[in-house]
Amino acid sequence: MWPAAKPLFEHLAALGNASALREGSRSLSYAQLLAEVDVRSQHLQQLGARRIALALDNGIDWVLWDLATLHAGLVCVPVPGFFSTNQQVHVLDSASIDCLIGPENTLYSALGFSASATASAAGVLQRPRALVSELPVGTCKVTYTSGTTGQPKGVCLDVATQLAVAHSLVRASASCQVERHLCVLPLATLLENIAGIYAPLLAGAQIELMPMAQVGLLGASQFDLPRFLTALGQAQPNSLILLPQLLLALVSAAERGLPLPDSLHFIAVGGGRVSSQLLQRADALGLPIFEGYGLSECASVVCLNTPEQRRIGTVGQPLPHLQVRLGADQEVQIKGPRLLGYLGEPVTDEEWLGTGDLGHFEGPFLVLHGRKKHQFITAFGRNVNPEWVEAELVQQLPIAQAWLHGEALPGNVAVLVPRFETTSDSQLAEAVAAANQSLPDYARVHHWLRAEHPFSSSNELATSNGRLRRNALFAHYQNAIEQLMADQTCYGDA
């Protein structure tokens, strides 16, 4: 067992027969949870597994295997289902995965995974690994970012950092008396893993689990509102973690008079920019929304509004286990429990971690402005580097230039300059579809506009050497993008 995990399991043992996990008709008490974890932990040790990938849908089994790796003192690597095939291959190979827990399929078979003859649990696949990538000492979890370029980065975390965040979240939400939490986001995302599993377990709450399709979240950019509302009605949760687009759906549903459970006490929202107007609409409906901010490098949550300390337009105050300051260029910097390092990169010993985000303080509350680099965060909380997608687009013959925008939007919008005057809209549409095939769903072009003119220095939409002037492009096409999104049925569905 990881030494820092021992207090967690001792705490869970003290909760005895209280309800811990529920998925449909299946439920486990805390005592039963620990018994299941112990069996799985022993099984992993008997197999000689070292690096375990979790490639499961949301459910009780995901939680049990995650805790089993902690109990066994092994390394857990969640594999997001919304990653593209190439990204999943990168995760499995770069982390030197020798044991994968998930369904057998052609991809895993091609990578050398097969059911072990000694495996007593279904869905446990193994492969031999002669060479094992080096990890920082103490790494128990490698969480991969959604990837601002083609390949995600592996963030190496220890037990103590993850539990420090979980304990802070328990204290921050204590007055809301959360007894049931519904996992809405994929458990493979660190936010739901820490705030939706570890924190509720520490609080002695019951965790409601459903497959992602049942809860209404499909992939990284598709959402089924009726399924989501049905799931809320079935689970009657006290707490949820939502991304901005899911919050928009919830607020819009309530404004249309659709029934929401009275049980909701604490709805955390993060993973992307949330408009003050949306939060004000939620306030008018009496919805208990609390915006936060975080990053994988700090085990997800850094700042959070709470029932006692809340200010709309901010991401809240820093959690008590860390410190936040601003650099000379207004970059948000963090000191405290954090990543041990990035997989495959030299470990740095800088005291303060630069986040790449810009902001300012209003008293103790942090206000974010945006990111230092060009990447944006979609309404579904996925990081996208537009240059990556634009490069894929201009490889298509009909497209000469492309600019991608998706900040806080439910779908990415591209403005396209055709390569030839005779290029038709249907040819542009085919080119977009071809480029999308090589991209994960959160980075794809969901909508596009035909540019009025090529981007050039003469119209100040590009530099003399052809680099895009992104702020100028946004100012020029903002109204057209807003009209395009207003016309989309996805907003009507919300």
Residue-level pLDDT at 274? 81
At residue 306, does pLDDT exceed 60? Answer: yes
The band of 493, judged by pLDDT with boundaries at 50, 70 and 90, is very low
At residue 217, does pLDDT exceed 80? Answer: yes
At residue 299, does pLDDT exceed 90? Answer: yes
Architecture category of domain 385-493 in CATH:
2-Layer Sandwich (3.30)
Over residues 39-73, the pLDDT tens digits come to: 999 999 999 999 999 999 999 999 999 999 999 99
Over residues 114-155, the pLDDT tens digits come to: 987 666 667 899 998 878 889 999 999 999 986 544 578 999
Q: Is 166 exposed, middle or buried (0-12, 13-18, 19+ CB in 10 A)?
A: buried
pTM, two decimals, is 0.81
Q: Can you list the alpha helix ranges (DSSP code H) found in 196-268? A: 199-202, 212-215, 225-235, 244-255
* Residue ranges of domains in the chain: 3-371, 385-493
The CATH class for the domain spanning 3-371 reads: alpha beta
Average pLDDT over residues 320-349: 93
Residue-level pLDDT at 117? 67
Rounded Cα–Cα distance for residues 377 and 246 (Å): 14
Residue-level pLDDT at 178? 95
At residue 7, does pLDDT exceed 60? Answer: yes
Cα distances (angstroms) measured from residue 99 to each of 49, 74, 119, 450: 6, 11, 11, 47
Average pLDDT over residues 420-433: 96
381 neighbors 170 (Cβ within 8 angstroms): no
Residue-level pLDDT at 489? 47
Task: For Cα atoms 230, 233, 236, give the angle at the middle one, nearest 5 degrees.
Answer: 140
Residue-level pLDDT at 249? 86
At residue 491, does pLDDT exceed 50? Answer: no
